[in-house]
Structure 1
């Protein structure tokens, strides 16, 4: 599917994309936070071994995706506010 520019999207499409982006960003943030907590608990229980260090890299490696989603969400909200259609 070809992505449209935000300015060319309808209000309904913007609201749908905002809802989807919020859900995906929240789920990713929750999963990364849960994994980070599990890695800390694993490191406390078994010490710093290759497993805990390897798993500890994953949340930091996926952090740019979370930041991109966050910035996309801010852009969507800004466009909706400019159209005076805040729901």
Structure 2
């Protein structure tokens, strides 16, 4: 259930933005670690199916970053 940002109150929007920002940045750090680990594993053991996981998770990170940008625009428009 995704609420439209224009229908949310300022407090709701700020709270949602803070939590999404924390989750997105932590997710980004985990993705970077996974990419680094995959480079190491490919160099030492060769390619296998699990090396695709960070690439498959990348669109989720991109969507979260875009959502954060939209929230920032909405908050800026309200000021």
TM-score where L is the length of structure 2? 0.90
Q: 1:49 to 1:71 in 2, by over 3 A?
A: closer
> Whose RCO is larger (CA < 8 A, sep 6+)?
2
Q: What per-residue deviation string (whole Å, max 9, x for no partner) do you get for residues 50-85 of structure 1?
A: 2xxx2320111011111110110000000000011x
Give the superposed CA RMSD: 1.3
Q: Give aligned pairs, total.
A: 79
Q: Which runs of 4+ in 1 moved over 4 A?
A: none
Q: 1:49 to 1:5 in 2, by over 3 A?
A: closer
Return the index of the structure with the highest Cα Rg: 1
For structure 1, the 5+ residue unaligned runs are none
